Structure formats: C-alpha cells, structure tokens
Amino acid sequence: MPNINKLLTDFLEYLEVERNRSERTIRNYEFYLRRFIKWAKNPAPAAISDEMIRRFRLWLNRSVPGRLNDNIKKNTQNYHLIALRSFLKYLARRDIKSLAPEKIELAKAPSRIVAFLEADELERILKIPLGEDLITLRDKAVLETLFSTGLRVSELANLKIDEVNLKRDEFTVRGKGDKPRVVFLSDSAKDSIKKYLNKRHDTSPYIFICHDRAKRGREDSGPLSPRSIERLVQHYAKAAGITKRITPHTLRHTFATDLLMNGADIRSVQSLLGHASITTTQVYTHITNQQLKEVHKKFHGKGK
C-alpha cells in the first residue's frame, strides 16, 4: 500500500492530467492536503475516520500555529474539506479503503457580501482614460472589456487577438476547468479594442500587452499580468474618486448586477459568468431583488 504522501502526489498528477485543473487549483489543494497530513501525522488512508475529521475541523476552527491566533475563516475551512473530500473520492476510485467522501459535510459559511460599482461610479471610471496614446487606449479597452464581458482577470490576461471576433461582437473564452462559454462585446468595448489594436505595430498574439513608453509599442511584449491589470483598475478607480477597494473582480460583479437589475434571468447570468453551479450566481440576488424594493417603497411608513 503506497503511503499517503505518495498517494497525494498521484492525486495532484491526476488533477493536472485527467481533470485538467488549473495550476493555482492544484497548488491550493496541495497546501490544504499537506496541512491535513501534517496535522494527522501521516495517517494511513484506512485510519482516516469520522473522529479524525471532527478533530481536524475543531483544530481549523481554533487558532492555528503560525497565524497569531487568527482564526481561519469558514470559507477557508471549507476549502480544506473540499480538497480532502476530492482526495477521498480519488482513493475510492482506486479502491483504496478510507473514509467515504460523502461523510464530510461543509460548514455553514456566512453569506458573501458582493462589492460592485454604482452606475455613477462606473460611468466615472470609464471616462477617466482620455487620450490617443497607446497606453491610454489599452487601459480604456481593458476597463470596457471587463465590464462588457464579465471576464475573470486571468481570462482577460490570456486573451489572444485571434480569439476575439470583432465582426460578430462575441467570442468564446475558456474559464475554470477549461470550460468554454460565449461572452459578448458592447459597442463601446468593441470600439475601444479596435482603436487600441489599430494603434499597435507589434506582432504579439495577445490583446492586452505591456508597453514601454519609449518604444511606442513597436516591439513585441508579453501580455499584461493579472497583477498589472489589478493595478490598472485600482489606478483608475482612485482617479475617479472612488474610495472603496476596486478590483477587476468588482467589474465582474458589476457586470452581473447590471444584468440582473435590468431584468436578466439568473440562469442566463450563470452562463455568462461561467459558474458551474447556480448557487454561486445566487449570491447576487439579494442585492438585485427589485420586487422587494418595490414592496418596501409601496408599504413602508404609510402609517406615519
């Protein structure tokens, strides 16, 4: 019987090759599972029990060594359990005796609070990049594309010119788990991309690339990194006088709330965001429930 560390290595390779999971996901799973294995002192698979999991959950829920008595958030505790459950499913698939994965239940996590831009904030941030120089045109196109498509920052960073059909105003992007979905470009996003690409004189395959101001875009350069896109968004949010923390994901949230507030059904929004589960999309419904707003307006304070 292979030891648990060897089985973990096999599992991570399985995620990479068979499940086509992202490098980041594999890295996170490895971190969570190695933490469990270290805590449990390298248990044999057959020794993993309900009681062991119960004690591990207690340990996660209390102060963890090296974290200055800072409790791990419920969502992060659940990430540990999700990774462990996936690992146990893998062991079951290989007929290796261990705890049944369905015996691991996730903790009830508090509802997420979604941050998004109000209409006037969105208008201000989109108006900030003014000018015809290459970098300003690029930044304008980045902001417009994020809001128009709801792309994740990693999806935007990896976007290539030949993947985007500017004649059809739509294109297919591969998101989490390499799952394809169709996204759409607004007229302003399409125009911004066209202006930016027309100004470029390089042969880079990527839509959004780094530019050395001195070279004026005439030499090939690598794609903008997700971190560079985050800094770009934060720069324009600050310039627009928005004091709350704004990230590319805030524009994704704004994309979703804008659709729902204007009457889009949640299943369509789920498809446009590339969410595997409708539960993930439902995080937006409590802030876009127009019916509740109308009920409050109609009935609240009428007795005064």
Question: Catalytic residues, which ones?
Answer: 152, 176, 249, 252, 275, 284
Burial 104-141 (b: 16+ CB within 10 A, else e): beeeeeeeeebebbeeebbebbbebbeeeebbebbbbb
Token readout for 77 is 């505790």
Instruction: Spell out the alpha helix ranges (H) of the chain.
Output: 4-17, 23-39, 50-61, 74-93, 119-127, 134-149, 153-157, 187-199, 226-239, 248-261, 266-273, 278-281, 290-299
Encoded tokens for 181: 């979905």
Q: What is the DSSP string of 244-278?
A: S---HHHHHHHHHHHHHHTT--HHHHHHHHT-SSH
All residues at 6 or more sequence positions from 161 whose CB lies less than 8 Å from its CB, including other chains: 197, 205, 206, 207
